[in-house]
Amino acid sequence: MRIHVINPNSTASMTAQIGRAATRAASAGTTIDLVTATGTPSSIEGYADEALAVPPMLAAIRAAEARGAMAHVIACFDDPGLSAAREVAATPVIGICQAALQVAVTLSSRFSIVTTLPRSVPIIEDLADAYGAGRRCRRVRAIDLPVLALEEDMDRSHALIAAEIHAARREEGAEAVVLGCAGMAELCERLTQETGVPVIDGVTAAVRQAEALIGMGYRTSKLGSYAWPNHKAGGFAPEAA
């Protein structure tokens, strides 16, 4: 099976990190079609960055379907353009935030999320509510570090995230912690081992969920909300049903 994994920002080094996590998660026989978006912000840290990232991402998804992609993973924790992506794709489209939260509510009765910047906190809180996990998500914590700074000093990033995980367990009674940025994916296993808390990475969760949906033969419903876009000047051309 072929799974398209797209980093909606334009930073190739972050794509490489995401690719390593996706490849580790993938089963034998799964091909990861890894793409870095072009013409998008170097990191996605807020609503404006999300809006700028969506059009190139949608074009990349359509191109990946033409290459034979059987599912798509949007590797940004804000799940930018997720509903729009489902409109233009025939195959399943999975956001790493939604996938991670689905794992968290399965493994724990209460959990916290650790993200990068404080400005991301309300965005993620709204996503948790939208995905039905609001009450179970007890807090969204931020390490106050920009997305692109994560890879500059991974030991420092690890220490900051680990401190928030310990605080989440102590202060909120968190039974699991979700990493709220795709750039944190490579730290997941180490953090789980060192903190004793189940730490959930959205890239891993999304790739595994994509494999399951492909294996069950499911495709995106085109009966309403995710119907093909109407054909119009300047829009996406509709696909055949």
Tell me, yes or no, whether 174 lies in a domain.
yes
Tell me, yes or no, whether 231 lies in a domain.
no
Both 111 and 24 in one domain: the answer is no
Tell me, yes or no, whether 240 lies in a domain.
no
Tell me, yes or no, whether 103 lies in a domain.
yes
Residue 239 has pLDDT above 70, yes or no: no
- CB contact at 8 A, 221 and 55: no
Which CATH number covers residue 53?
3.40.50.12500
DSSP 187-225: GHHHHHHHHSS-EEEHHHHHHHHHHHHHHTT-----SST
Parent domain of 134: 97-202
Other beta carbons less than 10 A from residue 38's beta carbon: 10
191: tokens are 């953090």
Least Cα distance to 83 among 227, 236, 226 occurs for 226
pLDDT at residue 231, rounded to an integer: 85
71: tokens are 């599912």
pLDDT at residue 241, rounded to an integer: 36
Distance (Å, rounded) from C-alpha 101 to C-alpha 99? Answer: 6
Both 107 and 192 in one domain: the answer is yes
Average pLDDT, rounded, for the chain: 95
Tell me, yes or no, whether 224 lies in a domain.
no
Least Cα distance to 181 among 43, 85, 19, 53 occurs for 43
> What global pTM score does this model have?
0.95
Distance (Å, rounded) from C-alpha 143 to C-alpha 176? Answer: 17
Tell me, yes or no, whether 221 lies in a domain.
no
Both 36 and 154 in one domain: the answer is no
Both 102 and 195 in one domain: the answer is yes
Both 197 and 105 in one domain: the answer is yes
Specify the residue for token string 């990861």.
32
Both 36 and 77 in one domain: the answer is yes
Least Cα distance to 149 among 47, 74, 42 occurs for 42
Both 91 and 101 in one domain: the answer is no
Both 107 and 174 in one domain: the answer is yes
Tell me, yes or no, whether 241 lies in a domain.
no
230: tokens are 């109407």
Q: Percentage of the chain with pLDDT > 70?
A: 98
Query: pLDDT tens-digit profile of 143-156?
Result: 999 999 998 888 99
Both 123 and 83 in one domain: the answer is no
Number of domains in the chain: 2
Q: Percentage of the chain with pLDDT > 90?
A: 93
Both 78 and 131 in one domain: the answer is no
Distance (Å, rounded) from C-alpha 45 to C-alpha 193? Answer: 29
Both 86 and 149 in one domain: the answer is no
Residue 181 has pLDDT above 90, yes or no: yes
Both 114 and 180 in one domain: the answer is yes
Tell me, yes or no, whether 90 lies in a domain.
yes
